[in-house]
Amino acid sequence: MTVPRIEVDLAAVRHNVATVKRTVATPIMAVVKAGGYGHGALAVARAALDGGAEALGVADIAEALSLRNAGIDAPMLAWLHGPSTDWLAAIEADVDVAVSSIEQLQLFAAVAERAGRPARVQVKLDTGLGRNGANERDWGAILAHVRELEIAGVARFAGLFSHLSGASRDADLRQVEAFERARAIARAQGVEPERYHLGATAGGLDLPEARYDLVRLGISMYGLTPHAPDTPSGLGLRPGLRLVAPLARDAAGWFVEVGAADGLPPLDAGAAAPLRLEGGDGRSWRLLSVGDVTTRVEPVPGADAEIAPAGSITLFGAPDASRRTTSADEWALAAGTIGYEIVTRLSPRLERRDAATGGTLETAPCEPRRTTRGLVAPRRTLTIDAVQLRASIAELADAGVRTLDVSADAYGIGLETIAAIAADEGVDLVVRTAADAERAAAGGHAVRHDPDAPDVARAAYGFRGGASGCLRLTSELVHVKWVEPGTGVSYGHEFVTAAPTALGLVPIGYADALPRRVAGAASVRVIGEAPFRRGQLSPSDRVPIVGRVAMDQVVVDLGDTEAWVGSPVVVFGTDAADPPLAEVAAWAGVSPAAFVAAIGPRVERVVIGGTP
C-alpha cells in the first residue's frame, strides 16, 4: 500500500440491514445519501437491497439520478429541493419527491400536469423537529391539494412522513401524537398515501409506535450507533468500513498521510489520548494529533520504536475477530461528535476498495447538477475567481515565491483547475505528502514532494490572515417558515426559539462543508432586498446557525431579516460583508486550508473570470 484507502465491508452492510429488518419487523428504506455516508452510494445501495431493503432514500434528485443511471431500479425518495428544481427529471426517472410546503407542491404540480402520467409525490410534515416540513396549520390545505391532484390524475400520493427530533422519549411520543393528527386529517380529506413513515434509525429501533409502514434506516446500516457514541446498539451490527494508511517516519516521528483535509476531525494530544490504533502486524499505536494533511502517531509505551513496523495502520474501522480495533464511534467520542460525521466527511480522494475482493469499489456516475430545465440539486457552490487566483500567483512569483502548494487536490479546488495557471505563471507545483505526489502523477501532473513546503506556498488561495482570496462558498434558502416561541430546532432541541421568528433552511451540512462543531457559533450572510416586518434589510445582515448541524442542512434564525425561498446564502466569501474564510475555519477548529480541502463533492466547483 502506498496511499491511504477505505475498505468497505459490503457483507457487513447486508448483515446490518437484515438484522435491523428482523428487529423492527417493518419494511426498510435504506438511506444512501451523501455518498452512502462516505462508504460509496452505489455499492451500498446494492448491498442494502440484497440485505432486504425495499426502497432507497437520498437527499436530492441528483443523487437519485446517479443511482438510476447506474441501473438501480428500486423505489427511491428524494426530499431536499431548491426553488429551481427540475421536477420533470425526477418524474421521468420514477423517483418520489417530497414536498415540504404548499408552495413547493404547487411548483411540482405545475410540472406534473405536463408529464403525461401521474407523478409520485410524498408530503413531509414538521411534527416537532423544527426544520423543513409543513407546519401543522397548513396540513389541511396541503393534503386537500394532494387530493385534487390525485382526482385529476396528475399525482399519486406515495407517502406521508415526518422525522423525529430525538430530544427525549416524551418529545418523540408527542411527535407520534402529532403524526396521528395528520393521519386523521388525511382521512378526513379522503386521501390515503401508499405509506406512512416517521421513524428513522433511532426512532425505528427505540420506538415501536414510530415504525408505521416503513423505517428509514441510516447510520445503523453502516454498523454505527444512532445514539451517543458510547451507547452501542446491542444488535451485533458490524462496521461497514475501515480507514487504513501506510506508516511513514520523519525527524519528528511516525505519521500517516491523512488528516483534517481528508475529513478527519481536529484532535489535539489530550482528546486523542484514549484512541489506540493497530498496525498491520498487530502492534498497538497511540494517536497524537490530527494535522492538515498528516496524522501523528507513536508506538504505545513498551513497543520498540526503532523496529520498522508493518507497512500500514488502521485508524478506525471494522474489527478483526482476533484484534481490538478503534471504531469510528470512539473517534466521535474523542472529537465530541457522532459517528455519522466521522465516516461521512471522509474525502472522495481516499480510494474506496471492496474489503472482500480488494478491488476498487464501483461508483455511480456523477450527474450534472443542471439540466436544460433547471437544477437537480439545491445550490451549493464553491466559486473560484480565476482572475484573482492568477493575479495572486503572479504577485507572489514577483516576490520570489515560485512554488504553489497543490496538496489535497489543490485543497479541494481541483488540481486540473489551477495547473494551467501555474504553468502560465512559471511556478512549480509542490505537495506535502507522497500520497498526493502519487495521485498527481497518475493524473499527468509534474509535482515536487516537499513535506516542509512553507505556508506562503499556498498563500495565493487566500488562506493567510482574514482574507478569502479567490474563493466563495454559497448556497440558498430552500425553506422558510414562521414559528412561535418555544419551538425546538433540529435534533435534540438544543436551541429553542425565545420569540416569534422566521427560520430558514440552508442545504449545506457536515457532509458538504460545515462540521457539527460550528453550531452555536457560526453565522451566514443572507442576501435580500425588501422589508419584512420592520426596517429594511441591510445587504450585510448575518444570521446565526441555530440547532445542531445535520448531514445535509442547517437552520438559520432569520429573525426580522427579509428572506424568502431562493435567497442567496454566503457561508464565506470575498465581499466585505461576507463572513471571512478564516473566521469560518476557526469555528470549525481547523485551518482555512483544511476547511476548504474538506468541502464535499456535492458542492459544485465553478470557475469564473475565464477558465484556466
Residue 306 has what pLDDT?
58
Specify whether the CB–CB gap between 124 and 57 falls below 8 A.
Answer: no
CATH of the structural domain 472-590, one choice from 3.40.50.11810, 3.30.420.40, 3.40.1440.10, 2.40.37.10: 2.40.37.10
Cell numbers placing 167: 430530544
Q: Is 551 annotated as a binding residue?
A: yes
- DSSP state for residue 136 in the 8-state scheme: G
**Tens digits of residue pLDDT in 556-595:** 999 988 899 999 999 999 898 999 999 999 999 999 999 9
Question: Does domain 10-222 bear CATH number 3.50.50.60?
Answer: no
Residue 227 has what pLDDT?
87
Give the whole-angstrom CA distance, residue 493 versus residue 495. 5
Torsion angle in degrees (nearest 10) through CA of 332, 338, 344, 349: -20
200 class by beta-carbon count within 10 Å (0-12 exposed, 13-18 middle, 19+ buried): buried
**Tens digits of residue pLDDT in 504-549:** 999 999 999 999 999 999 999 999 754 444 444 454 589 999 999 9
- DSSP state for residue 550 in the 8-state scheme: -
Residue 273 has what pLDDT?
75
Section 296-325 average pLDDT: 73
Specify whether the CB–CB gap between 207 and 173 falls below 8 A.
Answer: yes
Q: Residue 236 — φ and ψ, nearest 5°?
A: 75, 30
Give the whole-angstrom CA distance, residue 316 versus residue 331. 8
How does residue 467 score in pLDDT terms, banded at 50, 70 and 90?
A: very low
Residue 284 has what pLDDT?
87
Residue 309 has what pLDDT?
58
Residue 279 has what pLDDT?
85
Domain range summary for the chain, segments of one domain joined by +: 10-222, 241-316+319-354, 386-463, 472-590
Beta-sheet strand order (sheet of 604-608): 479-483, 501-506, 554-557, 542-546, 523-526, 568-572, 471-476, 381-385, 604-608
CB atoms within 10 A of CB 210: 24
126: Cα separation from own chain's centroid: 21
Using the predicted structure, report yes or no on whether residue 310 has a pLDDT greater than 80: no
Residue 178 has what pLDDT?
98
CA dist 596 → 218, 356, 414, 468, 601 (Å): 27, 33, 11, 11, 12
CA dist 320 → 278, 283, 375, 461, 586 (Å): 11, 14, 44, 42, 37
Kind plus residue range of the DSSP H or E element containing 416: helix 415-425
How does residue 323 score in pLDDT terms, banded at 50, 70 and 90?
A: low
Using the predicted structure, report yes or no on whether residue 267 has a pLDDT greater than 50: yes
**Tens digits of residue pLDDT in 144-162:** 999 999 999 999 999 999 9
Give the whole-angstrom CA distance, residue 433 versus residue 491. 38
Q: Tell me which residue has cell 443511482.
A: 67
With CA atoms as reference, report the closest residue to 269 among 228, 312, 306, 298: 298
**Tens digits of residue pLDDT in 106-148:** 999 999 999 989 999 999 999 999 999 999 999 999 999 999 9
State the amino acid at position 438 in one-letter form. E
CB atoms within 10 A of CB 220: 23
Q: Residue 294 — φ and ψ, nearest 5°?
A: -140, 160
Using the predicted structure, report yes or no on whether residue 609 has a pLDDT greater than 90: no
Lowest mean pLDDT among 75-79, 299-303, 429-433, 583-587: 299-303
Instruction: Tell me whether domains 241-316+319-354 and 472-590 share a fold.
Output: yes
**Tens digits of residue pLDDT in 40-69:** 999 999 999 999 999 999 999 999 999 999
Give the whole-angstrom CA distance, residue 293 versus residue 453. 12
Q: Is 439 annotated as a binding residue?
A: no
96 class by beta-carbon count within 10 Å (0-12 exposed, 13-18 middle, 19+ buried): buried
Specify whether the CB–CB gap between 45 and 56 falls below 8 A.
Answer: yes
| Ramachandran category for residue 308: left, alpha or beta (phi over 0 → left; psi -120 to 50 → alpha) | beta
Give the whole-angstrom CA distance, residue 384 versus residue 166. 39
Q: Tell me which residue has cell 520504536.
A: 305
Which class in CATH covers the domain with range 241-316+319-354? mainly beta
3-class DSSP string for 447-470:
CEECCCCCHHHHHHHCCCCCCCCC
For a pLDDT cut of 90, what percent of the chain falls above it? 82
Strand ranges for 191-331 from DSSP E: 195-197, 215-217, 241-250, 253-256, 276-279, 284-290, 295-299, 312-316
Q: Tell me which residue has cell 515565491.
A: 401
Section 259-275 average pLDDT: 87
215 class by beta-carbon count within 10 Å (0-12 exposed, 13-18 middle, 19+ buried): buried
With CA atoms as reference, report the closest residue to 384 among 474, 305, 323, 296: 474
Residue 540 has what pLDDT?
53
Task: Give the residue numbers marked as catalytic.
Answer: 33, 491
| Ramachandran category for residue 127: left, alpha or beta (phi over 0 → left; psi -120 to 50 → alpha) | alpha
**Tens digits of residue pLDDT in 348-384:** 999 999 999 999 998 887 778 888 899 999 999 999 9
